[in-house]
Amino acid sequence: MHDAPDTAVYRQQGFGASLRLAPPFGLLIVDFVEGFADPAVFGGGNIPQAIARTHGLLALARAQGWPVAHSRIVYADDDGDANVFSDKVPGMLTLKEHSPASAIVASLAPRAGELVVRKNVPSAFFGTTLAPWLTQRGVRTLVVAGCVTSGCVRASVVDAMCWGFAPVVVSDCVGDRAIGPHDASLFDLAQKYAEVLPLEGLRSRLALAG
Protein backbone atom coordinates (compact mmCIF):
# COMPACT_ATOMS: atom_id res chain seq x y z
CA MET A 1 0.00 0.00 0.00
CA HIS A 2 1.46 3.34 -1.07
CA ASP A 3 1.39 6.54 0.95
CA ALA A 4 -0.84 9.30 -0.31
CA PRO A 5 1.29 11.88 -2.14
CA ASP A 6 1.07 14.44 0.65
CA THR A 7 1.99 11.84 3.29
CA ALA A 8 4.98 10.75 1.22
CA VAL A 9 6.24 14.35 1.13
CA TYR A 10 6.05 14.58 4.92
CA ARG A 11 7.94 11.31 5.30
CA GLN A 12 10.59 12.34 2.77
CA GLN A 13 11.17 15.59 4.64
CA GLY A 14 11.55 13.86 8.00
CA PHE A 15 8.27 14.74 9.70
CA GLY A 16 6.29 12.42 11.94
CA ALA A 17 9.00 11.08 14.25
CA SER A 18 7.77 9.27 17.34
CA LEU A 19 8.02 10.97 20.73
CA ARG A 20 9.27 9.15 23.79
CA LEU A 21 6.62 8.97 26.48
CA ALA A 22 8.68 9.74 29.56
CA PRO A 23 7.18 10.01 33.03
CA PRO A 24 5.97 11.89 34.98
CA PHE A 25 2.70 12.20 33.05
CA GLY A 26 -0.08 14.75 33.31
CA LEU A 27 -3.53 15.02 31.76
CA LEU A 28 -5.14 18.11 30.23
CA ILE A 29 -8.84 18.00 29.32
CA VAL A 30 -9.65 20.95 27.08
CA ASP A 31 -13.11 22.55 27.16
CA PHE A 32 -15.33 19.52 27.68
CA VAL A 33 -18.09 21.82 28.87
CA GLU A 34 -21.85 21.67 28.44
CA GLY A 35 -21.93 24.15 25.55
CA PHE A 36 -19.53 22.07 23.51
CA ALA A 37 -21.42 18.89 24.36
CA ASP A 38 -24.62 20.40 22.94
CA PRO A 39 -25.02 20.41 19.12
CA ALA A 40 -27.46 23.31 19.47
CA VAL A 41 -24.78 25.53 21.06
CA PHE A 42 -21.14 24.82 20.05
CA GLY A 43 -21.14 21.03 19.73
CA GLY A 44 -21.88 18.32 17.20
CA GLY A 45 -19.71 15.96 15.18
CA ASN A 46 -17.88 13.37 17.27
CA ILE A 47 -17.68 15.40 20.49
CA PRO A 48 -20.18 13.20 22.43
CA GLN A 49 -18.20 10.07 21.60
CA ALA A 50 -14.96 11.77 22.65
CA ILE A 51 -16.49 12.75 25.98
CA ALA A 52 -17.63 9.17 26.57
CA ARG A 53 -14.16 7.78 25.79
CA THR A 54 -12.53 10.35 28.08
CA HIS A 55 -14.24 8.77 31.11
CA GLY A 56 -11.80 5.88 30.82
CA LEU A 57 -8.83 8.16 30.23
CA LEU A 58 -9.65 10.28 33.27
CA ALA A 59 -10.06 7.14 35.41
CA LEU A 60 -6.65 5.94 34.20
CA ALA A 61 -4.99 9.26 35.04
CA ARG A 62 -6.52 9.36 38.51
CA ALA A 63 -5.58 5.75 39.21
CA GLN A 64 -1.99 6.53 38.21
CA GLY A 65 -1.90 9.69 40.35
CA TRP A 66 -1.22 12.01 37.41
CA PRO A 67 -1.76 15.74 37.82
CA VAL A 68 -5.03 16.56 36.04
CA ALA A 69 -6.02 19.94 34.62
CA HIS A 70 -9.29 20.99 33.00
CA SER A 71 -9.94 24.11 30.94
CA ARG A 72 -13.11 26.08 30.25
CA ILE A 73 -13.82 29.29 28.36
CA VAL A 74 -15.01 32.08 30.68
CA TYR A 75 -15.64 35.73 29.79
CA ALA A 76 -16.38 38.50 32.27
CA ASP A 77 -20.02 39.21 33.02
CA ASP A 78 -19.66 42.74 31.62
CA ASP A 79 -17.72 41.58 28.51
CA GLY A 80 -14.83 43.76 29.65
CA ASP A 81 -12.36 41.13 28.41
CA ALA A 82 -13.91 40.75 24.95
CA ASN A 83 -11.14 40.13 22.43
CA VAL A 84 -10.37 39.10 18.86
CA PHE A 85 -11.51 35.53 19.57
CA SER A 86 -14.94 36.77 20.63
CA ASP A 87 -15.01 39.19 17.68
CA LYS A 88 -14.53 36.22 15.39
CA VAL A 89 -17.00 33.99 17.29
CA PRO A 90 -19.38 36.38 19.11
CA GLY A 91 -21.26 33.53 20.76
CA MET A 92 -18.22 32.86 22.94
CA LEU A 93 -19.26 35.86 25.03
CA THR A 94 -22.18 33.81 26.33
CA LEU A 95 -19.72 31.63 28.26
CA LYS A 96 -19.64 33.29 31.68
CA GLU A 97 -18.54 31.97 35.06
CA HIS A 98 -22.03 30.86 36.04
CA SER A 99 -23.42 30.08 32.58
CA PRO A 100 -24.57 26.45 32.32
CA ALA A 101 -22.91 26.22 28.90
CA SER A 102 -19.51 26.99 30.45
CA ALA A 103 -19.76 24.31 33.15
CA ILE A 104 -17.56 21.25 32.78
CA VAL A 105 -19.72 18.23 31.93
CA ALA A 106 -20.80 16.52 35.13
CA SER A 107 -19.36 13.12 34.22
CA LEU A 108 -15.87 14.66 33.98
CA ALA A 109 -16.20 17.05 36.92
CA PRO A 110 -12.90 18.04 38.53
CA ARG A 111 -11.94 16.60 41.88
CA ALA A 112 -10.17 18.38 44.71
CA GLY A 113 -6.58 19.07 43.78
CA GLU A 114 -7.21 19.17 40.03
CA LEU A 115 -6.60 22.49 38.29
CA VAL A 116 -9.39 24.34 36.50
CA VAL A 117 -8.01 26.80 33.94
CA ARG A 118 -10.25 29.69 32.93
CA LYS A 119 -9.34 31.14 29.55
CA ASN A 120 -10.80 33.40 26.86
CA VAL A 121 -8.54 32.41 23.97
CA PRO A 122 -8.01 29.00 22.33
CA SER A 123 -4.88 27.86 24.18
CA ALA A 124 -5.15 26.63 27.77
CA PHE A 125 -1.59 27.91 28.29
CA PHE A 126 -1.87 31.51 27.08
CA GLY A 127 -2.07 33.91 30.01
CA THR A 128 -2.78 31.15 32.54
CA THR A 129 -0.92 29.33 35.32
CA LEU A 130 -1.07 25.96 33.55
CA ALA A 131 2.60 25.71 32.52
CA PRO A 132 4.06 26.49 35.96
CA TRP A 133 1.45 24.25 37.62
CA LEU A 134 2.55 21.31 35.46
CA THR A 135 6.23 22.16 35.88
CA GLN A 136 5.91 22.28 39.67
CA ARG A 137 4.52 18.76 39.53
CA GLY A 138 7.37 17.54 37.35
CA VAL A 139 5.28 16.71 34.29
CA ARG A 140 7.28 15.78 31.20
CA THR A 141 4.61 14.11 29.04
CA LEU A 142 1.22 15.81 28.75
CA VAL A 143 -1.71 13.67 27.63
CA VAL A 144 -4.44 15.75 26.00
CA ALA A 145 -8.18 15.18 25.50
CA GLY A 146 -10.96 17.64 24.76
CA CYS A 147 -12.50 19.77 22.04
CA VAL A 148 -12.43 21.03 19.50
CA THR A 149 -9.57 19.23 17.78
CA SER A 150 -9.00 21.94 15.18
CA GLY A 151 -9.27 24.81 17.65
CA CYS A 152 -8.58 24.87 21.36
CA VAL A 153 -7.07 21.37 21.43
CA ARG A 154 -4.67 22.15 18.62
CA ALA A 155 -3.69 25.52 20.12
CA SER A 156 -3.09 23.96 23.53
CA VAL A 157 -1.02 21.11 22.10
CA VAL A 158 1.20 23.46 20.11
CA ASP A 159 1.75 25.61 23.20
CA ALA A 160 2.47 22.52 25.32
CA MET A 161 5.22 21.60 22.89
CA CYS A 162 6.55 25.16 22.97
CA TRP A 163 6.73 24.99 26.78
CA GLY A 164 8.79 21.78 26.56
CA PHE A 165 6.14 19.20 27.40
CA ALA A 166 5.88 16.16 25.11
CA PRO A 167 2.22 16.18 24.04
CA VAL A 168 0.19 13.02 23.47
CA VAL A 169 -3.15 13.58 21.77
CA VAL A 170 -5.56 10.75 22.51
CA SER A 171 -7.28 10.55 19.14
CA ASP A 172 -10.57 9.02 20.29
CA CYS A 173 -10.77 11.37 23.30
CA VAL A 174 -10.72 14.55 21.20
CA GLY A 175 -13.63 15.73 19.09
CA ASP A 176 -14.77 18.40 16.69
CA ARG A 177 -18.09 19.66 15.38
CA ALA A 178 -17.02 18.58 11.88
CA ILE A 179 -14.99 15.50 11.01
CA GLY A 180 -12.94 17.02 8.19
CA PRO A 181 -11.15 19.57 10.43
CA HIS A 182 -10.80 16.89 13.13
CA ASP A 183 -9.02 14.46 10.81
CA ALA A 184 -6.85 17.14 9.21
CA SER A 185 -5.78 18.46 12.61
CA LEU A 186 -4.87 15.01 13.92
CA PHE A 187 -2.72 14.47 10.83
CA ASP A 188 -1.00 17.83 11.27
CA LEU A 189 -0.43 17.33 15.00
CA ALA A 190 1.03 13.87 14.43
CA GLN A 191 3.42 15.14 11.78
CA LYS A 192 4.78 18.18 13.61
CA TYR A 193 3.88 18.59 17.25
CA ALA A 194 2.66 15.53 19.16
CA GLU A 195 2.30 11.82 19.49
CA VAL A 196 -1.22 10.84 18.40
CA LEU A 197 -2.61 7.59 19.79
CA PRO A 198 -6.02 6.08 20.53
CA LEU A 199 -6.73 5.35 24.19
CA GLU A 200 -5.90 1.66 23.86
CA GLY A 201 -2.65 2.55 22.12
CA LEU A 202 -1.77 4.83 25.02
CA ARG A 203 -2.50 2.02 27.48
CA SER A 204 -0.19 -0.27 25.52
CA ARG A 205 2.62 2.30 25.44
CA LEU A 206 2.27 2.88 29.17
CA ALA A 207 2.43 -0.87 29.84
CA LEU A 208 5.60 -1.16 27.77
CA ALA A 209 7.14 1.85 29.51
CA GLY A 210 6.26 0.47 32.94
What sign does the CA torsion over 4, 5, 6, 9 have? positive
Q: What is the arrangement of strands in the sheet containing 68-73, beginning at the earlier edge strand?
A: 115-119, 68-73, 25-30, 141-147, 166-175, 195-197
* Residue 147 among the catalytic residues: no
Residues taking part in catalysis: 152
